[in-house]
Amino acid sequence: MRVLGIDPGLTRCGVGVVEGDIGRQVRLVGVGVVRTDAALDVANRLAEVEAGLESWFDEYRPDVVAVERVFAQQNLNTVIGTAQASGVAALVGARRGLPVAFHTPSEVKAAVTGSGRADKAQVGAMVVRILKLASAPRPADAADALALAICHLWRGGSSNRYAAAVARAKGIA
Amino acid sequence: MRVLGIDPGLTRCGVGVVEGDIGRQVRLVGVGVVRTDAALDVANRLAEVEAGLESWFDEYRPDVVAVERVFAQQNLNTVIGTAQASGVAALVGARRGLPVAFHTPSEVKAAVTGSGRADKAQVGAMVVRILKLASAPRPADAADALALAICHLWRGGSSNRYAAAVARAKGIA
């Protein structure tokens, strides 16, 4: 089961790909960010988000997509742009017929650190330990995307098994 | 100058197309809604929004797109879905190389009624008068999309003239 995690943003989307199965070691497959040109208007930045994510999907062929859930109460200056980017991220996954799950930041923190209130440094440190990395991926959005993908793999349980069965039935896994 | 106005929503996007130039009568070209299946998850509903809007763009070939601007302070239960749908709407326009403008609800109300605090009935009545219609388009989202397109045409001024010049230079107007 290969999960592509996306930490959405209009300026920068973190992207992390992990592979694993229940009871197996989780493995890092790819990590990075999709950046957009700050000189462009919102619509063209969303087109850059789409094009950038499409390359990740093309290269890594995930079985499932996990996107960070955006809340209306988050930073009022950026929440609309973040929600727009999250919509484009979900769209790219759905258009490919992939299951798209949303997880809240506290679900992600709880899954990887055991506490829903862990800070960024704790999440980064746990991502390093879980994936046996030499150091935390930079920028933080990239580490967050990996944490999101790990969270999906671990929380998935029956829904992961269902997605895996669907993938097998389609002859793609 | 042909303007496609989009009142975004996850359940229903209002779509209205008008044509006009500065100092000329504004003409209704098309109006309706893109609906999504409430039984689908968010990602698949966004894919339906994309597919539905693509048909409108294919059929009506607008020169410019006007999308209602979403604010973080709007209805907390629906604002994230509305923002996601607005992101998909802007994306579809940008991908076609069209200028995409955002207007706030009060800009739209002020443009068509003279008051930024007009209610839905007043906006609908003015849309009927401006476009010389027999009755207000239903549902309200459709009338709102027309008001948005009219607002863009009237407020556009120099930016409309610029978009028209670009369209002419590309040999498409």
Q: Which residues of B touch A72 (CB under 8 A)?
A: 72, 76, 79-80
Q: Which residues of B21-33 are buried (b: 16+ CB within 10 A; e: fewer)?
A: eeeeebebbbbbb
Contact check, Cβ <8 Å, B46/A72: no
Closest residue in B to A44 (Cα–Cα): B94
Query: Which tokens is B147 given?
Result: 């008001």
Count of all residues that appear for chain A in the document: 173
Count of all residues that appear for chain B in the document: 173
User: What local confidence, expressed as pLDDT, does residue B72 receive?
Assistant: 84
Helices (H), ranges, A12-157: 42-60, 79-95, 105-113, 120-131, 140-156
Read off the pLDDT of residues A11-52 as tens digits, 9 standing for 90 and up.
Answer: 999 999 999 987 788 999 999 999 999 999 999 999 999 999
Q: What value of ipTM does the predicted structure carry?
A: 0.88
Q: How many domains does chain A have?
A: 1
Read off the pLDDT of residues A105-119 as tens digits, 9 standing for 90 and up.
Answer: 999 999 999 999 999
User: What local confidence, expressed as pLDDT, does residue A173 receive?
Assistant: 42
Query: Which tokens is A83 given?
Result: 């929600």
Q: Which domain holds residue B104?
A: 2-169
Neighbours of B167 (CB within 10 A): 17
- CATH number, domain at B155? 3.30.420.10
Closest residue in B to A10 (Cα–Cα): B87
* Residue B144 appears among annotated catalytic residues: no
C-alpha to C-alpha distances, A151 to A89, A105, B110, nearest whole angstrom:
18, 10, 47
Instruction: Kindly indicate the confidence band of residue B19, based on its pLDDT and cuts at 50, 70 and 90.
Output: very high
How near does any CA of chain B get to the CA of A121, in Å?
28
Instruction: Kindly indicate the confidence band of residue B148, based on its pLDDT and cuts at 50, 70 and 90.
Output: very high
Contact check, Cβ <8 Å, B94/A70: no
